[in-house]
């Protein structure tokens, strides 16, 4: 407890996302938001660059430089790279003399092994104290929902690799679920459609651009075409191709239905008095996927509940973990420290 008020203690919240990593430093706000990519020198195992700088470096770099994306579906897939990435980015965000207390969001239902991996990575990266909390709860706090009140609040965090749905009341989680489905699942569905319907392969950047500029959760009023260069699967040559917005809508619809099914089930299981509050207050969408055209309209139509997109939806989780770690005594029900997670091992 003594360290709690120490001027040398820095409270830090990290959103270790499948697509992007964001860091929130108490008193400074969000100080870093970059793709979760680390460039490493394969000969020495040393990190060379992080985020966009890493992506740029690859274009000019020699053979021994490799790009690593260590997060998969919101959890650590490559532990060694994750702790090096955390250490590297923390060194860019804070002075090393400070005592770091770090909170990271983890998907609902993350196993103790997965939570321990996050904690170990933070300790290895230099944290003196490490905590985890559910991503959905962090999103609700970050989106400024009134989760302290004795009323129901619902958030759907549509990330890249995961969707986290949570119902909160009285600073606690009533129900929550994490799906291994996110905005990257739309990319996968589009890639498969292009291959099967048009025998064309497209790179990830092209598919991302296609999804953002023409993708929609509801049937678009204007059926515009998206033109792109792809590689013919028949002869391997580059060729111009196009896809209509209505096709993207149909392709993405299957993934959206899985998300809707989970949200509907959670609402059905919610105690009626809290469900009534949610009908009144609405569901809040966070995460980059909340920006999908028509996402709020579709969810509202299908669930019969008002839906709002949070301001800066992709920043909600990092703002939430940052806020909770800075006021941890107020949010104890939402946080798990090493003492609880490690004890359960035995
Ligand atoms: N307009 C848009 N339409 C659809 N998807 C979008 C749009 N804008 C951003 N996205 C998607 O949002 C995702 C990134 O969101 P976010 O940063 O919240 O994810 P993350 O935190 O990295 O992932 P996760 O929480 O699953 O670990 C990307 O997959 C991106 O394609």
Q: Closest Cα to atom 15, ligand 1: which residue?
A: 288
Secondary element (H or E) of residue 285: strand 283-286
CATH domain 2-136+316-343 topology = Nucleotidyltransferase; domain 5 (3.30.420)
In this chain, the answer to whether the domains covering 139-181+252-314 and 184-251 adopt an identical fold is no
Decide: 162 in ligand 1 pocket, CB within 6 A: yes
Atom of ligand 1 nearest to the CA of 163: 26
Q: What is the pLDDT of residues 65-121, one digit of tens each?
A: 999 999 998 889 999 999 999 999 998 898 776 799 999 999 999 999 999 999 999
Tell whether pTM > 0.90: yes
Ligand 1, from 35, 164, 288: best to mutate by most atoms within 8 Å of Cβ?
A: 288
Give φ, ψ of 157 to 5 degrees. -100, 110
225-228's contacts with Cβ under 8 Å and 24+ in sequence apart are 228/202
pLDDT in tens, 136-161: 999 999 999 999 999 999 999 999 99
Which of ligand 1's atoms lies nearest the C-alpha of 20? 22
With a 6 Å cutoff on the Cβ, whether 230 touches ligand 1 is: no
CA distance 295 to 344: 39
Quick check: 155 and 286 in contact, CB under 8 A? yes
Is 209 annotated as a binding-site member? yes
Length of the chain: 346
Reported ipTM: 0.99
Residue 23: strand pairing partners: 14, 32
Exposure string over 20-30, b if 16+ CB within 10 A, otherwise e: bbbbbbbeeeb
For the chain, how far is it from start to end, CA to CA, in angstroms?
26
Which protein residue has the closest C-alpha to ligand 1 atom 3? 292
pLDDT at 64: 87
Check residue 6 and give its pLDDT.
58
Distance CA 166, CA 154 (A): 6
Q: pLDDT tens across 155-210, in order?
A: 999 999 999 999 999 999 999 999 999 999 999 999 999 999 999 999 999 999 99
Question: What is the pLDDT, as a whole number, of residue 2?
Answer: 38
Percent of the chain with pLDDT over 90: 86
CATH class of 139-181+252-314: alpha beta
User: For residues 85 and 14, what is the distance between their CA atoms, to the nearest angstrom?
Assistant: 12
Q: How confident is the model at residue 345 (pLDDT cuts 50, 70, 90)?
A: very low
Give the domain ranges of the chain.
2-136+316-343, 139-181+252-314, 184-251
Cα angle 196, 199, 204 (rounded to 5 degrees) comes to 85
> Residue 346: is its pLDDT beyond 70?
no
Q: Predicted confidence band at 343 (pLDDT cuts at 50, 70, 90)?
A: low
Superfamily of domain 184-251 in CATH is: ATPase, substrate binding domain, subdomain 4 (3.90.640.10)
């Amino acid at each position: 407890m003594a360290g709690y008020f120490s001027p040398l203690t820095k409270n830090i919240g990290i959103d270790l996302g499948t697509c992007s990593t964001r860091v929130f430093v108490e008193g400074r706000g969000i100080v870093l938001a970059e793709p979760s990519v680390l460039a490493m020198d394969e000969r020495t195992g040393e990190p060379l660059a992080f985020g966009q700088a890493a992506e740029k470096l690859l274009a000019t770099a020699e053979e021994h430089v490799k790009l690593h994306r260590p997060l998969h579906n919101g959890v650590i897939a490559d532990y060694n790279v994750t702790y090096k990435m955390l250490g590297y980015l923390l060194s860019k965000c804070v002075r090393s003399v400070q005592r770091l207390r770090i909170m990271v969001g983890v998907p609902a239902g993350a196993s103790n092994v997965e939570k321990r991996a996050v904690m170990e990575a933070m300790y290895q990266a230099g944290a003196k104290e490490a905590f985890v909390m559910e991503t959905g709860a962090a999103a609700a706090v970050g989106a400024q929902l009134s989760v302290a009140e004795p009323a129901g609040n619902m958030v759907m965090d549509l990330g890249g690799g995961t969707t986290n749905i949570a119902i909160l009341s009285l600073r606690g989680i009533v129900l929550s679920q994490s799906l291994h489905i996110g905005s990257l699942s739309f990319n996968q569905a589009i890639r498969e459609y292009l291959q099967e319907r048009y025998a064309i392969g497209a790179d990830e950047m092209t598919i991302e651009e296609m999804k953002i500029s023409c993708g929609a959760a509801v049937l678009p009023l204007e059926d515009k075409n998206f033109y792109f260069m792809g590689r013919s699967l028949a002869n391997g040559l580059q060729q111009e191709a196009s896809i209509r917005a209505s096709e993207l809508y149909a392709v993405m619809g299957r993934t959206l239905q899985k998300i809707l099914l989970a949200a509907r089930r959670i609402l059905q299981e919610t105690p009626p008095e809290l469900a009534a509050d949610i009908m009144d207050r609405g569901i809040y969408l966070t995460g980059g996927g909340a920006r999908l055209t028509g996402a709020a309209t579709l969810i509202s139509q299908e669930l019969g509940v008002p839906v709002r997109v949070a301001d800066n939806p992709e920043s909600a989780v990092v703002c939430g973990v940052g806020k909770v770690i800075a006021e941890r005594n107020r949010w104890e029900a939402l946080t798990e420290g090493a003492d609880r997670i490690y004890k359960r091992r035995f």
